[in-house]
Amino acid sequence: MARSRAIGLRRSVLRGRRSQRGTGGWRGGWRDRFDIPKAEAEPILLTPGEYPDPDNIDEETEEMGFAHFHTCKSHGVKLKPKGPGSYYSDRCNLEYAQTIGQAEEANCLPCLKREQGDRRIGLKSLYSFNVVHFGIFEKQPVERDGKKVRYERDGENHKRGDVVMQWGQVTRPRDKKEILEEIDDLIEEEEVVLARKKYVEVGLGFRDQLTLIDEDASKFCRCGGNVAPEAFECERCEEELISVEEENLSPKEVEDYSVERQKCDHCGHVGLPVPIPVCDNCNEPEPLTFAEVVAYVRRVGEGNKSQIRIEKVVPITEFELPNGASIIEWEEDPNDEDEMVAALDEDGNYVFTEEYGIRKLVQSQFNFEKVHRPRDHSWHAKKLGCKVPSKWKSVSSSSKYANYEDDEDNGAEEEETSTGRRRTRRRRRSRAQAE
């Protein structure tokens, strides 16, 4: 049987110590998307999720497995060669309807035009990951084409016409320096936050590059040593498949072997090989998983040649927020009262701190069926320059901002200026001078 490449962040599933899966159903929108930057690598933490994985079907039971990322189909439409408005993408309504159990009544205008020979329209798989993005963020108005974006209907925390606000990252060195001088006060006054819940939306190539974070994480041991596989075993019968030393495998050969499905000569099972780790610092290695490292990522290259580059990964025990705080809990070492050790829960997972909302950001996951709801047929018709068949029903709201009042925790607030923190500092200084 031909070997197929491994799908997804699988080491956290194959290892005995499983990562905590995400819970909840955040219903974010486009403003919660993290676009991987080109200028400078940004620190992110991939967090566990649980979504049906159509690429992971059990060969015997034909049951669909789960992945830490969400998978769906999306249409990419190229309206003109280049420039603003030259391209847009949206989820395929047929695939969406099938997912929510309404396939019999569904129609998709891009699919119809594509079948009729419209070469502007493509179809590809879209993969979405939950992440926590670390940095310095303050409230900023959303702008498009130089104009502030406003709500199109009333909501619980805003009125129609209010400016849409979002937590924007502070990137200018001088602004960051000013904030860091009074970071604790600004955090307490809710002018600044140090982490945001985001999602990464990528195609197949970028998905595979992101999953390499798990491979990089597995080279670290909880003891602080370095880990490498000394052999691989069958995930079903646990018989050894191959010995790295006996076969004299190079690092590249080890990497290639680890990400391809292998057939076990003992039980006949075809699946992903399970690495048997060895550590250079301890006798009981515990390799880290993707959910236990912060990865610094950026995008390089242009167009079809662009790639995600993982500049470095840092164990979460060593990572610090911009104000120097840790993102996990620490407790007294039972063997040495003068030392502190990372706190673990009953399942052996690191305990994230509740400060700065870190624990909630890590444990929650997006409801991507809401995030990736398809647009209305009429919206596509306007873009494609055609008419909607008269018998078709509307599929969803055509407003891109209509779901903001549905947000659980990332909800937009009423208008405020991005200079709010500067006014706060001026008021604080005035009070100090008066005293």
Contact 118, 78 (CB under 8 A): no
The residue-averaged pLDDT of 9-33 equals: 56
146: left (phi over 0), alpha (psi -120 to 50) or beta: left
Q: Name the band, by pLDDT with cuts 50, 70 and 90, for residue 105.
A: confident
* 75, 89 contact by CB (below 8 A): yes
3 state DSSP class of 16: coil
CA distance 186 to 177: 13
pLDDT in the model for residue 309: 93
For 117-128, what is the mean pLDDT?
95
Could you tell me the sign of the dihedral formed by the alpha carbons of 284, 290, 291, 294, in that order?
positive
Tens of pLDDT, residues 207-247? 988 988 998 998 999 988 999 889 999 988 999 999 998 99
pLDDT at residue number 402 = 34
Look over the chain and give the mean of its residue pLDDT values, rounded to a whole number: 83
More confident residue, 259 or 270: 270
pLDDT band with cut points at 50, 70 and 90 for residue 410: very low
Q: 335-353, pLDDT tens digit by residue?
A: 888 889 999 999 889 999 9
Terminal CA-CA length for the chain: 80
What are 55-63's contacts with CB under 8 Å, separation 24+?
Answer: 55/7, 55/8, 56/7, 56/8, 59/270
Closest by CA position to 238, among listed 212, 217, 261, 267:
267
pLDDT over 80 at 395, yes or no: no
What tens digit of pLDDT does each residue of 162-215 get? 998 888 999 999 999 999 999 999 999 989 999 999 999 999 999 988 988 998
Name which of 11-20, 72-81, 407-416 the model is least confident about.
407-416
pLDDT at 377 over 90: yes
Please tell me the predicted confidence (pLDDT) of residue 85.
Answer: 85
pTM comes to 0.79
The yes-or-no verdict on residue 387 having pLDDT over 50 is: yes
Residue 240: both structure tokens together: 């050894």
Tell me the mean pLDDT in the region 124-135.
96
pLDDT in tens, 275-293: 888 999 999 999 999 999 9
